[in-house]
Amino acid sequence: MKLAELLENNASSAIGGAEITSITDDTRKVKPGSLFVCIKGGSFDGHDAAAEMLEKGAAAVVCERDLGLGDRQIITENSRFLYGKLCAAWFGHPEKKMTLIGVTGTNGKTTTTNLIKHILMSAGHKTGLIGTIQNEIGDEILHTDNTTPLTYDFMALLAKMADAGCEYVVMEVSSFGLVQNRIGSSWFRTAVFTNLTQDHLDYHKDMEDYFQAKKMLFDVCDAALCNIDDSYGKRLYDEINCEKYTFSVKTKADFYADGIKIKSTGSSFWFCHGEKSYLVKSRIPGMFNVSNLTAAITVCLREGISTDDILSAIAAYNGVKGRCEVIPTGRDFTVICDYAHTPDAIENILRSVKEYTDNRLICLFGCGGNRDAAKRPKMAKAAAAYADKLIVTSDNPRNEDPELIIKDILAGIENTDVPYDVVTDRREAIYHALKIAEKGDIIVLAGKGHEDYQILAGMEHIHFDEREVVAEGLKLLDN
């Protein structure tokens, strides 16, 4: 592609006729004819390598300041922003060939996007999914490393989805993806805001910065759907200027749930909109999932999916791996695996499970290393408010000392009377939970969810699937 065609009037170059063979922001991927985009990251600034990339054969570089490279430098105010547009142009603007639906927030993104995709697919619309657990093209499953893929990878994935005949793409849009302009020039038919609670403050300087990052999605959508049960959702609704709607499970809104009934086997409620109401029956339990269902139903109604198709699709849906997932035990107690790794998520899952616990609610959890340490005592406090017993352990300690992480956690339960055990090794902690379980107990394994690995010192990834660990622990009990 000619450089001038690639730039699409978003920037100018004296060598617009140069043939570009590839575009990248990765110095390792530069080859003769590449367009290298200089991006300043947390530990490396691409500007420092610009001259070297030209020597390596790059046709030109995109940069944010004059590097003294003559007509082979293209200066822009924001190289991340321009890189997104360049990637979109490189792949022929796949984002314009499909209807995009985005979901952002701290909790609920994965379940909501999976629900929307399931309903659309059930109604006969081939749909792509981009999210935390995996990416999907129809029924094809693809591995993912990031909730929102990196810029080039994102556009490459959209192109693959468009080529496969997808009509829709439903995606989790992370704060990282928004701040780093990974979504390029994408425009969303509907953008959903689920909630905002403390998370990622190792990256964002404070909650205001985190909110402003999420808010960026609502500058690139036709319509917004805001959860007004959340204070940030109310604020967002007041501050945005696009077409907008509200949803709720606590009060009347444009779309809301009423007559809610929660059981361990699922939930039922009336979905209400104006003067109309429809009985929804779902196999996924939890008040937070009623909220996710309400958002998903609203999105699909707006896409013209019939009420009958929506209700039948929901009735057949079994839930998302690692989201309030019941692990079979064949015993008189229950084990639930959930991704809850923030104070709010811990509170949501435990408060919901508490409603149908016959005996004790046991919560096993830890906190990740090299991440927001301020949320550790808050997670413990949230767990102590609902659990009858806590088992404090590890959860991806990374390069931090697990014992010091646990010390931070325990600070949150100093003034509570909830009994707790500390078992640093997570495998041994799960074995311990199974060993002490009594009839009618529910054990919630919080934090790992769909993940099948642990990240230990030196950032080593080891295989660790809690479903397998539970099975191993049950065998030990039998021996």
pLDDT band at 324 (very low <50, low <70, confident <90, very high): confident
Q: pLDDT band at 202, cuts 50/70/90? A: low
| pLDDT surpassing 60 at residue 204 | no
- Distance in angstroms (rounded) separating the CA atoms of residues 286 and 354: 10
CATH level 3 topology of 94-315: UDP-N-acetylmuramoyl-L-alanine:D-glutamate ligase (3.40.1190)
**pLDDT reading at 25 higher than 70:** yes
pLDDT higher than threshold 70 for residue 355:
yes
User: CB neighbours of 231 closer than 8 A, spacing ≥ 6?
Assistant: none
Confidence of residue 203 (pLDDT cuts 50, 70, 90): low
Buried b (16+ CB within 10 A) or exposed e, 309-336: ebbebbeebebbbbbbbebebeeebbbb
Flag whether pLDDT at 421 surpasses 90.
yes
> For residue 230, which phi and psi values (nearest 5 degrees)?
-105, 135
**H helix or E strand, kind and range, residue 239:** helix 231-239
Measured CA to CA, the distance from residue 68 to residue 65 in angstroms comes to 9
Which of 393, 392, 442, 443 is CA-nearest to residue 419? 392
Amino acid at residue number 361:
L
Write out pLDDT tens, residues 94-149.
Answer: 999 999 999 999 888 999 999 999 999 999 999 999 998 889 999 999 988 777 88
Amino acid at 374: A
Q: How confident is the model at residue 386 (pLDDT cuts 50, 70, 90)?
A: very high
What is the maximal distance between C-alpha atoms in the chain? 76
Residue-wise pLDDT for 446-460, tens only, equals 999 888 888 887 777
Res 205: pLDDT:
67
CA distance 336 to 442: 7
**CATH 3.40.50.300 for domain 325-478:** no
Whether the CB-CB separation of 224 and 236 falls below 8 Å is answered with yes
Which of helix, strand or coil describes residue 151?
Answer: helix
Let me know if the fold of 94-315 is the same as that of 325-478. no
Report the C-alpha gap between 7 and 281 in whole angstroms: 50
Q: What is the architecture of the domain spanning 3-79?
A: 3-Layer(aba) Sandwich (3.40)
Q: What sign for the dihedral angle of Cα 58, 60, 64, 70? A: positive
**Domain positions in the chain:** 3-79, 94-315, 325-478
Record the tokens describing residue 402, joined without a space: 């697990």
What's the distance, Cα to Cα, between the start and end of the chain in Å? Answer: 66
Give every CB contact of residue 408 below 8 A, 6+ residues apart in sequence: 367, 373, 376, 377
Instruction: Say what the pLDDT of residue 198 is.
Output: 64
Chain segment 63-100, per-residue pLDDT in tens: 999 999 999 999 999 999 999 999 999 999 999 999 99
For 208-221, how does the pLDDT look when each residue is reduced to its tens digit (9 = 90+)? 998 999 999 999 99
pLDDT for residue 41 = 85
Arithmetic mean of pLDDT, 361-368: 94
Compute the average pLDDT of residues 20-31.
97
Question: Residues 237-279: pLDDT tens digits?
Answer: 999 999 999 999 999 999 999 999 988 778 999 999 999 999 9
Q: Which helix (H) or strand (E) holds 73?
A: strand 73-75
pLDDT band with cut points at 50, 70 and 90 for residue 199: low
pLDDT at residue 36, rounded to an integer: 98
In DSSP terms, 282 is beta-bridged to 267
Alpha carbon 81 to its chain centroid, in Å, reads 22
Mean pLDDT, rounded, of the chain: 93
Burial class from Cβ neighbours inside 10 Å (0-12, 13-18, 19+) for residue 109 reads buried
